[in-house]
Amino acid sequence: MDGDNMNLFKKQIILYIFLYGGILCIGMGVAGELGMPLQVILIIIGGILLIAGGIYLFCKYRCPWCHRTYPWGLSISTDYCPYCGEKIE
């Protein structure tokens, strides 16, 4: 194990906060008038959150045993890694 002691549920919560927070910020930004500074700031923050979510997905959303990225849409109730079969803690 590489010292990453977060369980799958915590990793998924962090990933969803980044991704859905980014989508929400971008959606709120484009819903208003694009000339307004607040809308531009919301779009930039949303883009940053989406990029951070992508980086988190490829760096931290991994099996602690085989180090492969978990498949997209992995259920919270999954007990074993679909690649190596080791127990997900």
Domain that includes residue 5, residue range:
1-89
* Mean pLDDT (10-residue bins), the chain, 89 residues: 66 90 93 81 94 89 82 74 82
What pLDDT is recorded for position 34? 66
Angle of helix 8-31 versus helix 37-59 axis, rounded to 10: 160
Say if CB 88 and CB 81 are below 8 A apart: yes
Q: What is the pLDDT of residue 79?
A: 78
User: 56: closest CA among 82, 20, 28?
Assistant: 20
User: For the whole model, what pTM was predicted?
Assistant: 0.76
Q: In this predicted structure, what is the pLDDT of residue 1?
A: 44
Please give the tally of structural domains in the chain: 1
* Three-state SS letters, 3-32: CCCCCHHHHHHHHHHHHHHHHHHHHHHHHC
Q: Which two tokens stand for residue 46?
A: 């949303």
